[in-house]
Chains A and B, each alone.
Chain A
């Protein structure tokens, strides 16, 4: 393995400007992690217009920092208030909050921070070795392979999410349909533009992400905004006691492994890996009845897993150009805005961006560890901000950001309409994730499908006659058949693992 691009990456990550954006990103991530409501995908979407004027590496370093920083922040409210800031820290609340009630909040938070750091860092190391190998294989991909790959990505995100399978498929189909608005990519015929020039260029991805995730999430939270304010339990400094650390060492290792593997799978990601890691810990414990009553392993395992998964979910995006989850779909859009197409060529064409972003994650994790131990008290104070104040400020920033993309008020109307769509989708049980992902991959999928059809002379069976694409079709078929079965089994296991301990 040629190490010089890796070293260049370190010098990129250590540039003062990039250090600053890394710090900014992880701090914002930690903040939104603490505040329930706005998730990382929505925050990154809202901040996209600001990244227009940044260098590509700086932009992605900051946005990535928001994503993994949120995993740290979400833990704090889970442990202290049993109010998970992020879905991926829901399971941490069970034992974390029990520990806090026993007066061991500081120690629990300390273990969580250390577990997050170890999980994240281990995952970056593995990523540095696996990503180049995977990208090397993917360089041989042609239009046929990309057609199947995009289908696998969309399908996996739909099936591994929490919603119903048909609904995810419907959301994905709607996203693909929305992606066809505008001029035909090959022939230039206007499609679904309804005669207006405003839609001739298609709908900007940033508007879709800001509308569906940003505005949609704010509108959705508006309906259920009466949240009781709970008192924050007192805690000393967030440093693990020696006994707690000794007990959680192995849990951290197991959690990191679970998180890394599940994070790579499209749709796996942080939330699922934290649930699985909790189940693993409970099963491997000598005395499972401690779980639910303040077992430190129930904090250490899931926390190392969700951070490892957050990091490894970058692998499919950076090597194959297929985003593994909703946040990665937004980052896909961020890279496209910078004129960089994520995919196997990224590592060779833009080694500074690839290795700069990857290596900045070591620094980001270090910064987070440094921030979270002394500053948890400051972040907890942010919880006093009322959602009724935060929402209108966020919405003004979002609207002005949407306007600034093309200096066009029509885009604002479009974003609000998409926000309403996002709200309605959530009410009707459709996940916005598959929709946005399909929208992002829509033009790639259509383009490679049409090109393949021309190459194959209209013969669809060619997809299974070429070795590479046939293998991928095999993977696709396997996921269509196997995943729903696994899903049912896992749902039962997680139910069993997270149900209260029998006394």
Chain B
């Protein structure tokens, strides 16, 4: 056994590339915008007084905190990175999210079997790069197992087409 790797420090499995200054600015801008919007909505609720707080007071305090921290991040964005650059893999993430939104929308319309089968097949084949054969076997198998577990086993009233 060679001892050529003992000098390694902490293992960092696939340490992602740090993001640039633009991304750091986005990290500060998001809380500011979000906080400002929430503060505006809170002001339209009843603020009340400190003695008798209305429903809007607490959200207003929290929104102000969000804006303040966002400004803090913007100020420190010049030196601190702390973000991760988006890689080409982000396309997979977006695709997966779209597939999941479609899944959730179809679910109550056509029952859970077809969307589940399609989601599994698409994910295994295109995101997992499985072969067509294992894609077909796994997606049918997992859908059947989910049917057995959730509908027959746990009695969860999932909308379904096949009635056993």
Which of A91, A393, A407, A499 has most B Cβ within 10 Å? Answer: A393
Chain B hits for A170, CB < 8 A: 31, 66, 69-70, 72-73
B11 close to A83 (CB less than 8 A) = yes
Bound-complex Cα distance A457 to B82 (A): 43
A222 close to B127 (CB less than 8 A) = yes
CB distance from A495 to the nearest CB of B (A): 9
A400 close to B10 (CB less than 8 A) = no
Known contacts: A184-B55, A389-B138. The answer to whether A90 contacts B87 by CB under 8 A is no
B97 close to A416 (CB less than 8 A) = yes
Q: How many residues of chain B are within 8 Å of chain A by beta carbon?
A: 84
A219 close to B55 (CB less than 8 A) = no
Chain A hits for B138, CB < 8 A: 389, 393
Known contacts: A191-B55, A219-B96, A219-B97. The answer to whether A391 contacts B123 by CB under 8 A is yes
B103 close to A412 (CB less than 8 A) = yes
Residue of A nearest to B122 (CB): A392
Given A177, A223, A429, which contacts B90 in the complex, CB threshold below 8 Å? A223
List A residues 448-503 near B (Cβ within 8 Å).
Answer: 449-450, 453-454, 457-458, 460, 498-500
List A residues 57-108 near B (Cβ within 8 Å).
Answer: 82-84, 90-91, 93-94, 97-98, 101-103
B11 close to A82 (CB less than 8 A) = yes
B41 interface residue, CB < 8 Å from A?
yes
Main secondary structure of the interface of A (DSSP, over half): helix
A237 interface residue, CB < 8 Å from B?
no
Known contacts: A184-B55, A391-B123. The answer to whether A223 contacts B89 by CB under 8 A is yes
Given B3, B19, B50, B86, which contacts A453 in the complex, CB threshold below 8 Å? B50
Bound-complex Cα distance A282 to B146 (A): 49
Which of A94, A187, A389, A419 has most B Cβ within 10 Å? Answer: A389
Given B30, B69, B101, which contacts A416 in the complex, CB threshold below 8 Å? B101
Residue of B nearest to A181 (CB): B59
Bound-complex Cα distance A97 to B7 (A): 12
Known contacts: A223-B89, A400-B112. The answer to whether A180 contacts B59 by CB under 8 A is yes
Chain B hits for A177, CB < 8 A: 34-35, 38, 59, 62-63, 66
B128 close to A396 (CB less than 8 A) = no
CB distance from A490 to the nearest CB of B (A): 15
Chain A hits for B46, CB < 8 A: 189
Given A167, A192, A403, which contacts B27 in the complex, CB threshold below 8 Å? A167
Given B10, B41, B49, B58, which contacts A94 in the complex, CB threshold below 8 Å? B10
Chain B hits for A285, CB < 8 A: none
A83 close to B13 (CB less than 8 A) = yes
Chain A hits for B52, CB < 8 A: 454, 458
A397 interface residue, CB < 8 Å from B?
yes
A460 close to B50 (CB less than 8 A) = yes
B152 interface residue, CB < 8 Å from A?
no
B45 interface residue, CB < 8 Å from A?
yes
B142 interface residue, CB < 8 Å from A?
yes
1/0 per position for B4-42, CB-CB distance to A under 8 A? Answer: 011111110110100100010011001100110010010
B3 close to A101 (CB less than 8 A) = yes
A400 close to B150 (CB less than 8 A) = yes
B50 close to A458 (CB less than 8 A) = yes
Chain A hits for B90, CB < 8 A: 223
B93 interface residue, CB < 8 Å from A?
yes
B43 interface residue, CB < 8 Å from A?
no
A423 interface residue, CB < 8 Å from B?
yes
Given A224, A420, A457, which contacts B51 in the complex, CB threshold below 8 Å? A457
A413 close to B105 (CB less than 8 A) = yes
A412 close to B104 (CB less than 8 A) = yes
Given A102, A391, A419, which contacts B127 in the complex, CB threshold below 8 Å? A391
A355 interface residue, CB < 8 Å from B?
no
A500 close to B7 (CB less than 8 A) = yes
List B residues 57-100 near A (Cβ within 8 Å).
Answer: 57-59, 62-63, 65-66, 69-70, 72-73, 76, 80-84, 86-87, 89-90, 92-93, 96-97, 100
A374 interface residue, CB < 8 Å from B?
no
A404 interface residue, CB < 8 Å from B?
yes
Chain A hits for B45, CB < 8 A: 189, 191
A219 close to B72 (CB less than 8 A) = no
Chain B hits for A392, CB < 8 A: 119-120, 123-124, 127-128, 142
Chain B hits for A393, CB < 8 A: 120, 138, 142
Given A388, A404, A412, which contacts B124 in the complex, CB threshold below 8 Å? A388
Chain B hits for A428, CB < 8 A: 19, 23, 26-27, 30, 83-84
Known contacts: A102-B1, A215-B100. The answer to whether A498 contacts B34 by CB under 8 A is no
Residue of A nearest to B51 (CB): A458
CB distance from A92 to the nearest CB of B (A): 10
A399 close to B150 (CB less than 8 A) = no
CB distance from B148 to the nearest CB of A (A): 12
A453 close to B51 (CB less than 8 A) = yes
A224 close to B16 (CB less than 8 A) = yes
Bound-complex Cα distance A28 to B49 (A): 51
Chain B hits for A102, CB < 8 A: 1
A166 close to B50 (CB less than 8 A) = no
Residue of A nearest to B70 (CB): A170
Known contacts: A174-B66, A177-B62, A404-B156. The answer to whether A164 contacts B82 by CB under 8 A is yes
A389 close to B128 (CB less than 8 A) = yes
Chain A hits for B87, CB < 8 A: 223-224
What would be 24 A-B contacts, judged by CB atoms less than 8 Å apart? A50-B154, A90-B10, A163-B82, A164-B76, A170-B69, A176-B62, A180-B58, A180-B62, A191-B56, A225-B92, A226-B14, A386-B130, A388-B124, A391-B128, A395-B123, A396-B119, A396-B120, A399-B103, A400-B158, A404-B156, A428-B26, A450-B58, A458-B50, A500-B9
Binding site for B on A (CB under 8 A): 36, 50, 53, 82-84, 90-91, 93-94, 97-98, 101-103, 163-164, 166-167, 169-170, 173-174, 176-177, 180, 184, 186-187, 189, 191-192, 215, 218-220, 222-227, 292-294, 386-389, 391-393, 395-397, 399-400, 403-404, 407, 409, 412-413, 416, 419-420, 423, 426-430, 446, 449-450, 453-454, 457-458, 460, 498-500
